[in-house]
Structure 1
Amino acid sequence: MSEPVLDEGYERGLKNRQISMMAIGGAIGTGLFLGAGAAIQTSGPGLIACYAVAGAVIFIIMRALGELLVYRPVSRSFVDYAEEFLGRMPAFATGWVYWLMWITTAMAEITAAGLYVQYWFPSIPQWVTAAVVLGALYLANLISVKVFGEFEFWFSMIKVITIVGAILLGLAVIIFGWGPAGEQASFAHLWQHGGFFPNGGNAALLALQSVMFAYLGVELIGLTAGEAKKPEKVLPKAINNVVVRIAVFYVGALVVLLSLVPWTEFHKGKSPFVQAFDAVGIHGAAGIIQFVVLTAALSSCNSGIYSTGRMLRTLSLQRSAPKAFGKLSPRKVPAASLSMSAAVMAIGILINVVVPEEAFSYVTSIATAGVIWTWGVILVCQIRYRRKVDAGELPSAGFRLPGAPWTAYFGLAFLALVVVLLGFSEDTRIALYVTPIVGVGIVVGYLLTNKKQRAEEPVG
């Protein structure tokens, strides 16, 4: 039996349909729509197996989080669990790492939005679009959680409709021979042209790092517990559907795309979805996908503003951030922490002015390391929680991680493998350089915060 839902002062304004769609859309980003072309060029059809294996690990992580959420559904989520099961230092690190992860992700996404808008309006400077996007989404989050939820619902709906449409059109081409690609489309493309792993297993293995980060954001559903209606019922249902979403939107989409045309025709810099629409004779396919990836960027930035605002308030309530960030506005949103987070995100606008060409790659390295840490903490907390349940010290949540604790150990081993693989690519190696710097900063921050707390505590 789980503990009762705690009142954290938030308005329970997120509806079931919004949380369900957020859970679907959270796992769909620009990595699938735009970045899959480069991964296919490197791995061939073997990329399907990479997404399937990585998706299984993501499901393990989400079920581990779900077990903790049912045990104690709070929007402080993994930070609260880290403090309970690991101690204050890991909780401090987790909160700030997650905050930094979404700050840098939002910087990257407003940068991406600036690039996407130039497809239609090349004369508009990249930084102008970045500023407009950040300002508009900040105001939406400031109004109420209902506005945030509605924005996220429709952003996710656009992505889902696009993928489902591409899958159905692709199947029509393959099965019924419709469109210009009807004669050559075949499921046999998956094993022809060099086999399922045409560049060898090592190439597919190296793709795991980019594949894992395509799933960044799925854990965001854990932060909605404090603002969801009936979270003890809604959240487990949304988490259980993760497997279906991954199977359909990632594995299913890639199977269809790679059956339409040989994998050798996919290249870096061109969306595989553009080729899918071209194959069925839809003109303006590039414009359609450009609009969708813009939507994906807006969705990610919207989620970043929401999550950083809640996380900064959590840190404040745990005395790991200034007290002012713990307050709620009359609309029951953490206005002060939202404002601070948006102000830091605005650094991304400056980066777009100074180094527009390198902006995207510069600000994603911290997010890379941050999501690995967060997912790892979730798994370790679930292991510690289950040990306490087995010892009779805590009540069982009734929503167990299947195969625990071995599935949790497998998830941790897989994340460790991804960290090792980061060192094999020049594009991701920078994450290994940035991580120790961030770590030192967090340790210093923790020591200073702890010192201040001890000084404020009454003697005796």
Structure 2
Amino acid sequence: MSVENVDKPQETKGLTNRHVQLIAIGGTIGTGLFMGAGDSIHFAGPAILLIYAIIGLMMFVVMRAIGEMLYADPSQHTFIAFMTKYLGKKTGTFASWSYWLTVAFMGMAELTAIGKYVQFWFPSWPAWLIQIVILVILTAVNLIAVALYGEAEFWFAMIKIIAILSLIATGIIMLLTGFKTSQGTVTVNNLVGHFSLFPHGAGNFVNAFQMVMFAFVGMEFIGMTAAETKDARKVLPRAINQIPLRILFFYLGALATIMVIYPWQQIPANQSPFVAVFKLAGVNWAAALVNFVVLTSAASALNSVIFSASRNFYSLAVESKTPWLKKFTKMSKHNLPANAVIVTAILVAGSAVIAVVPQINDAFTFVTSASTDLFLMIYILTLVTYWQYRKSTDYMKDGFLMKAPKFFVPVAIIGFVLIYLTLFFNKDAMVPAIGATIWLVVFSAVQALKKN
């Protein structure tokens, strides 16, 4: 799952259409799919395809809203800026801090996944130690130099796309040849046989929504990336309008292929189904290769998290009048916000602590829930911001307009609220949900007490 700086200093718009198109595709494919799909299928069975389609539609509404605002004002580097403009400075401040925390929690999820991927080869190594070592390495990289982001993510996206295309191609070949595995013959009946909307109860079906939601978070980066191109108004509509096809092919296609190869009732919940499928096919080297692909995908996303979240924190420190934050505005000799990088890395390192807390049964679910909670708040605020934009004099009647916003925007908001509420009914997601609610209440109260 790729992310980018959300509140960065002014930079040259140097991304090409080639970068945007591949990053846009790769940005919709990440740990939520590679790692979380096992849990999701375990919770909902084939009905997971319906959940992906529902949330995919909701996210497309958010993307069209962001796209319409960025199309009207391509000079903005982030949709967060529109919240300050149309909902006020206090709301913008809440959104900025919340988004920084959200991206950091996303990094914790990626780091948690990295620990599990490395254990594929070294099962005896403790996850917390793996996480610390990887985090130190990537933090050091961010403190020494900044790579050419667009080009690097282009190739990382290419790796993820090839991995999914290979999975789908393998599934088609196995299906057409009637390939037999230890679980039986590869057949469509593995997907549709014994279908039930609630195969493990309505509660587990509901729990699947939060994991699927995490698979989509960070998709807003597509809009921000497109806005960074030299011809934003040409690239932006194309990148966003292709999202439904990407969801249909890369998400639904990959999941359907997995369940055709591997009977959904037996898919393990605690490992990547991509790796499990190739192991089932008896191609052990391919399983190792897929594990390497998803490992590099998570490492790439974590590297982007450290880069982008640190720049976001740097911008917050620059804009803040709080004295203790000023130390984070200092730049290193390499002209990098070193202190901001370090504080972001320390926050992300929380995943290593969570990994050894015995009361937390599933660290990955815990941190993805924490990230999802705050993302849901941001997406709701984004749609409210969009509604205020439509009422403003900035509204561009001949711009990149959303279809039927009076219907889709309220429906999407209600959907996000309902998903947020489901988090309180999952024992692993409940604590993060309560924490996010406390964050919202306390931050709002503090902002309300401020004079300006």
TM class by smaller structure? 0.7 to 0.9
Counterpart of 2:410 in structure 1 is 409
- Unaligned 5+ residue runs, structure 1? 1-5, 455-460
The question of whether the paired residues in 1 share the 8 Å contact of 2:175 and 2:187 is answered with yes
Change (3 A) 1:229 1:33: same
The question of whether the paired residues in 1 share the 8 Å contact of 2:143 and 2:336 is answered with yes
Kindly provide the CA deviation profile for residues 204-261 of structure 1, in whole angstroms up to 9, marking residues without a partner as x: 3442222111112112234446754433333332222211211111111122222224
Kindly provide the CA deviation profile for residues 24-70 of structure 1, in whole angstroms up to 9, marking residues without a partner as x: 22222223223222322221211111111111111111111111111
The question of whether the paired residues in 2 share the 8 Å contact of 1:74 and 1:225 is answered with no
Kindly provide the CA deviation profile for residues 346-380 of structure 1, in whole angstroms up to 9, marking residues without a partner as x: 44455567779865455444312111011111111
Number of equivalenced pairs: 443
**Stretch deviating more after TM superposition (251-260 or 122-131):** 122-131
**Stretch deviating more after TM superposition (347-356 or 127-136):** 347-356
The question of whether the paired residues in 1 share the 8 Å contact of 2:211 and 2:365 is answered with no
Counterpart of 1:386 in structure 2 is 390
Counterpart of 2:3 in structure 1 is none
Q: Name the CA distance, whole Å, in 2 between partners of 1:41 and 1:366.
A: 21
Q: Give 3-state SS (helix, strand or coil) of 2:220's partner.
A: helix
Q: Give 3-state SS (helix, strand or coil) of 1:77's partner.
A: coil
The question of whether the paired residues in 2 share the 8 Å contact of 1:92 and 1:320 is answered with no
**Stretch deviating more after TM superposition (109-118 or 49-58):** 109-118
Q: Name the CA distance, whole Å, in 2 between partners of 1:231 and 1:144.
A: 28
Which amino acid letter does the alignment assign opposite residue 410 of structure 1? Answer: V
Q: Name the CA distance, whole Å, in 2 between partners of 1:229 and 1:332.
A: 25
Change (3 A) 1:50 1:404: same
Change (3 A) 1:324 1:168: same
Q: Name the CA distance, whole Å, in 2 between partners of 1:229 and 1:96.
A: 29
The question of whether the paired residues in 2 share the 8 Å contact of 1:73 and 1:225 is answered with no
Q: Find the partner of 2:371 among 367, 373, 376.
A: 367
Kindly provide the CA deviation profile for residues 292-333 of structure 1, in whole angstroms up to 9, marking residues without a partner as x: 332232132123123313322443454376456567779886
Q: Name the CA distance, whole Å, in 2 between partners of 1:152 and 1:219.
A: 16
Q: Name the CA distance, whole Å, in 2 between partners of 1:364 and 1:188.
A: 32
Q: What are the within-5 Å matches in structure 2 for residues 83-162 of structure 1?
A: 83-122=84-123, 124-141=125-142, 146-162=147-163
Q: Name the CA distance, whole Å, in 2 between partners of 1:7 and 1:373.
A: 22
Kindly provide the CA deviation profile for residues 149-178 of structure 1, in whole angstroms up to 9, marking residues without a partner as x: 333233322221111100111011213435
Kindly provide the CA deviation profile for residues 273-296 of structure 1, in whole angstroms up to 9, marking residues without a partner as x: 234324544234542333233223
Which amino acid letter does the alignment assign opposite residue 174 of structure 1? Answer: L
Which amino acid letter does the alignment assign opposite residue 409 of structure 1? Answer: P
1:424 correspondence with 2:425: yes
Q: Give 3-state SS (helix, strand or coil) of 2:28's partner.
A: coil
Q: Find the partner of 1:344 among 338, 344, 347.
A: 347
Q: Name the CA distance, whole Å, in 2 between partners of 1:29 and 1:361.
A: 15
1:169 correspondence with 2:170: yes
1:239 correspondence with 2:212: no
Q: Give 3-state SS (helix, strand or coil) of 2:15's partner.
A: coil
Counterpart of 1:42 in structure 2 is 43
Per the TM alignment, residue 425 of structure 1 is displaced from its structure 2 partner at its CA by 1.4
Q: Name the CA distance, whole Å, in 2 between partners of 1:312 and 1:318.
A: 10
Which amino acid letter does the alignment assign opposite residue 375 of structure 1? Answer: Y
Counterpart of 1:436 in structure 2 is 437
Which amino acid letter does the alignment assign opposite residue 104 of structure 1? Answer: F
Which amino acid letter does the alignment assign opposite residue 338 of structure 1? Answer: V
Q: What are the within-5 Å matches in structure 2 for residues 224-235 of structure 1?
A: 224=225, 227-235=228-236
Change (3 A) 1:297 1:186: same
Change (3 A) 1:182 1:288: same
- Unaligned 5+ residue runs, structure 2? 1-6
Per the TM alignment, residue 117 of structure 1 is displaced from its structure 2 partner at its CA by 1.9
Which amino acid letter does the alignment assign opposite residue 231 of structure 1? Answer: A
Change (3 A) 1:230 1:177: same
RMSD: 3.4
Q: Give 3-state SS (helix, strand or coil) of 1:218's partner.
A: coil
Q: Give 3-state SS (helix, strand or coil) of 1:177's partner.
A: coil
The question of whether the paired residues in 2 share the 8 Å contact of 1:107 and 1:346 is answered with yes
Q: What are the within-5 Å matches in structure 2 for residues 197-212 of structure 1?
A: 198-199=199-200, 203-212=204-213
Which amino acid letter does the alignment assign opposite residue 237 of structure 1? Answer: R
TM-score by length of 2: 0.85
Q: Name the CA distance, whole Å, in 1 between partners of 2:390 and 2:233.
A: 18
Q: Name the CA distance, whole Å, in 2 between partners of 1:263 and 1:354.
A: 31
TM-score by length of 1: 0.84
The question of whether the paired residues in 1 share the 8 Å contact of 2:275 and 2:291 is answered with no
The question of whether the paired residues in 1 share the 8 Å contact of 2:95 and 2:378 is answered with yes
Q: Name the CA distance, whole Å, in 2 between partners of 1:386 and 1:284.
A: 54
The question of whether the paired residues in 2 share the 8 Å contact of 1:102 and 1:367 is answered with yes
